Amino acid sequence: MPELRLEMNDPNTVRVCLLVSIVLLSCFCVKSQLTTDFYSSTCPNLLKIVRKQVKDAIKRETRMAASLLRLHFHDCFVNGCDGSVLLDGSNGEKFAGPNLNSARGFEVVDSIKRAVESQCSGVVSCADILAIAARDSVLLSGGPTWKVLLGRRDGLVANQTGSNTNIPSPFDTLDTIINKFANVGLNTIDVVALSGAHTIGSARCVTFSNRLFNFSTADAVDPTLDSTMAADLQSLCPENGDGNKTTSLDRNSIDLFDSHYFTNLVNNKGLLSSDQILFSSDEALSITKAIVEKYTDSSTFFTDFVNSMINMGNINPLTGSNGEIRKNCRVVNS
């Protein structure tokens, strides 16, 4: 066999290097094999079926839009968007800190799945149902819309530890939050744009009451929290009161998907510490403050939110013959 010699000034070496670079580049650039028309022949009415179920659910309870949007986020940050958050069982993600007594909407996902199965059995993944339901929830709350990329398959395992470590906590610093997003391939713009999801939905007292009492040695109350809002929250969430009581994340326009979340931040009216630090922390000055100010304009926010939702939906999907199409979103197929 002739000996293969690579020398930098040899045209063959240059050709080999070029070929290797092209192969490597194409591996990195192919973000996902998801497509918008994935079910066009196997489940042509899919989008209509999901839209109707989400509409009915929101009619029954407006907050459900927020809960469904959050489920897609909590799914994608753990093992990628693979429906793992939906799996039942005490070792599952439902029992992880960010989800316990908090994540909701599982019954609605069940009813969407049942409606989809009745028309196209064994074809549509639970992970894709979450992605479509999240988009519909935003749109039906007055927000922007987009074409959802589809073709994800469902994971075979839940990852409770992953849920505890990957999903940002309301008590994290901005650096930590940015790192947790970076770990799943999302950048600082994604952090701010996706935090805008807090324009709808609610949070429990336990997630922000640290800002109201014994905040620090210097300040009893978080100084970056508007004092009238602080007083209001103190009466709603008294010290040693019911931590599971809830209030709206965006008190300016509770159920409307708009840019008021960002106006709130500029006015020191963010509910969670992890919201307000996007504008008020020392790190925010150089990283996120200007983005928050930009997003007080709703069309700028909407454009970036859509991009970031697509980025989030692209986190490590299972495709091809990986994973499965679950029959019941709560359990892996037997």
Helix, strand, coil: what percent of the chain each, to 5?
50, 5, 45
Q: Which of 96, 197, 230, 265 binds ligand HEM (CB under 6 A)?
A: 197
Nearer to ligand HEM, 113 or 180 (CB): 180
Q: Which of 124, 140, 177, 230 binds ligand HEM (CB under 6 A)?
A: 177
Lookup: tokens for 57: 């659910």
Nearer to ligand HEM, 21 or 179 (CB): 179
Shortest distance, CB of residue 177 to ligand HEM, whole angstroms? 5
Q: Which of 143, 155, 201, 317 binds ligand HEM (CB under 6 A)?
A: 201
Shortest distance, CB of residue 194 to ligand HEM, whole angstroms? 4
Q: Which listed range, 45-53, 145-153, 197-205, 225-233, lies at the site for ligand HEM (CB under 6 A)?
A: 197-205
Residues 253-292 that bind ligand HEM (CB under 6 A): 272, 274
Nearer to ligand HEM, 43 or 69 (CB): 69
> Per CB under 6 A, does 202 bind ligand HEM?
yes
72 belongs to the catalytic site:
no
- Beta bridge partner(s), residue 328: 331
Q: Which residues contact 312 (CB under 8 A, 6 or more apart)?
A: 72, 73, 76, 81, 186, 190, 194
> Per CB under 6 A, does 109 bind ligand HEM?
no
Q: Which of 32, 62, 164, 204 binds ligand HEM (CB under 6 A)?
A: 204
Nearest Cα to 87, choosing from 288, 328, 298, 291?
A: 328
| HSE-CB of 104 using CA atoms within 13 angstroms | 14
Nearest Cα to 129, choosing from 115, 139, 144, 142?
A: 115
> Per CB under 6 A, does 184 bind ligand HEM?
no
Lookup: tokens for 91: 């070792």
> Per CB under 6 A, does 207 bind ligand HEM?
yes
* Residue 125 φ/ψ region, left for φ over 0, alpha for ψ in the -120 to 50 degree band, beta for the rest: beta
Q: Which of 46, 54, 109, 203 binds ligand HEM (CB under 6 A)?
A: 203
Q: Which listed range, 113-121, 192-200, 284-292, 316-324, lies at the site for ligand HEM (CB under 6 A)?
A: 192-200
Lookup: tokens for 202: 């609610």
CA distances from 100 to 75, 164, 204 (A): 14, 11, 12
Which residue in this structure is represented by tokens 């179920």? 53
DSSP 187: -
> Among all residues, whose Cβ is closest to ligand HEM?
201
CA distances from 237 to 230, 240, 273 (A): 10, 8, 15
Nearer to ligand HEM, 39 or 313 (CB): 313
Nearer to ligand HEM, 87 or 203 (CB): 203
CA 235 to CA 21: how far, in whole Å? 62
For residue 183, the one-letter residue type is N
Q: Which of 38, 73, 261, 301 binds ligand HEM (CB under 6 A)?
A: 73
Q: Which listed range, 25-33, 60-68, 121-129, 258-266, lies at the site for ligand HEM (CB under 6 A)?
A: 60-68
Lookup: tokens for 15: 């050709």
Q: Which of 104, 294, 327, 330 binds ligand HEM (CB under 6 A)?
A: 104
Shortest distance, CB of residue 200 to ligand HEM, whole angstroms? 6
Q: Distance between terminal CA atoms of the chain?
A: 52
Shortest distance, CB of residue 160 to ligand HEM, whole angstroms? 17
Chain centroid offset of residue 316 CA:
14
> What is the contact surface with ligand HEM in residues (CB under 6 A)?
63, 66-67, 69-70, 73, 102, 104, 168-170, 177, 191, 194-195, 197-198, 200-204, 207, 249, 272, 274
Catalytic residues: 74
